[in-house]
C-alpha cells in the first residue's frame, strides 16, 4: 500500500515543530542553536521555536553543555585535532564561547597540548613515529598547526622529540 507523502525509508513529512525537533534529535545530539536554525529554515515562527526549545530543555533533550563536552572529549580522544580547531567547530555549532572554553579546559587539560599533540603525531605518523628529514618534519608541523595545535606547542614538541634544528621560520 502506498502512503501519500511517504517515500522509501523516510517518515512522512510533518509541519509540527515539536516532531521536527524530535526527528532531528533522533539522528544526533544538537545544540539549541542548531535546532533553532533547523526550525527557522522550515519557516517555523520564532515564538514556536522558543516554545519547542523550552520544552526540549525542560525534558532534558537539549543540553548544550553536554553536547559541548561530548564533542570536545571525542575530538580529544580521536587525537587528530587540537583545541583551537575544536573550539572553532564548537563555536560554529552555536555554543557560547565561555562554555566552549570551559569544556576545552576539561577535554584538553594540558596547557601545552602535550598528550593530545603526541596522540595526533601518533595517528598521523603511525608506528614509525615522527620523521627524521627536515622537510617531512616541517610538513608534519604545518599539518599539526592546521589541525588546531598552537604553533609554539608544536615547535616545542618537535624539538623535544629529537630535532635540534630550528625551522621556526619555515612553518610560521
**Per residue in 71-112, pLDDT tens?**
998 888 887 788 888 999 999 999 999 999 999 988 877 655
Residue range 31-48: average pLDDT? 92
Chain segment 7-30, per-residue pLDDT in tens: 445 455 778 889 889 988 888 899
Alpha-carbon span 44 to 51, nearest angstrom:
11
1, pLDDT greater than 50: no
Q: Which of 10-19, 46-55, 134-143 has the lowest mean pLDDT?
A: 10-19
Asked if 94 and 33 touch (Cβ cutoff 8 Å), the reply is: yes
What's residue 115's pLDDT?
Answer: 74
What's residue 162's pLDDT?
Answer: 61
In order of 81, 112, 137, 172, the CA distances from 120 in angstroms are 7, 13, 14, 19
The CA radius of gyration of the chain, in Å to the nearest whole number, is 22
Q: What is the pTM of this model?
A: 0.67
What's residue 105's pLDDT?
Answer: 87
Residue range 146-167: average pLDDT? 72
Asked if 35 and 57 touch (Cβ cutoff 8 Å), the reply is: no
146 Cβ neighbours under 8 A, 6+ residues apart = 85
Torsion (CA) 129, 130, 132, 136 in degrees, nearest 10: 130
Amino acid at each position: 500500500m502506498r502512503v501519500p507523502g511517504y517515500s522509501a525509508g523516510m517518515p512522512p513529512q510533518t509541519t509540527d515543530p515539536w516532531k521536527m525537533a524530535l526527528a532531528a534529535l533522533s539522528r544526533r545530539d544538537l545544540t539549541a542553536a542548531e535546532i533553532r536554525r533547523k526550525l527557522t529554515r522550515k519557516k517555523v515562527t520564532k515564538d514556536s521555536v522558543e516554545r519547542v526549545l523550552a520544552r526540549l530543555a525542560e525534558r532534558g533533550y537539549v543540553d548544550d553543555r553536554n553536547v559541548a563536552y561530548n564533542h570536545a572529549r571525542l575530538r580529544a580522544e580521536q587525537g587528530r585535532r587540537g583545541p583551537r580547531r575544536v573550539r572553532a567547530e564548537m563555536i560554529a555549532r552555536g555554543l557560547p564561547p565561555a562554555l566552549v572554553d570551559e569544556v576545552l579546559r576539561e577535554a584538553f587539560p594540558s596547557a601545552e597540548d602535550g598528550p593530545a599533540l603526541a596522540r595526533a603525531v601518533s595517528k598521523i605518523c603511525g608506528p614509525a613515529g615522527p620523521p627524521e628529514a627536515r622537510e617531512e618534519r616541517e610538513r608534519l608541523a604545518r599539518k599539526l598547526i592546521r589541525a588546531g595545535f598552537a604553533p609554539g606547542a608544536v615547535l616545542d614538541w618537535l624539538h623535544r622529540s629529537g630535532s635540534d634544528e630550528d625551522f621556526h621560520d619555515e612553518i610560521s
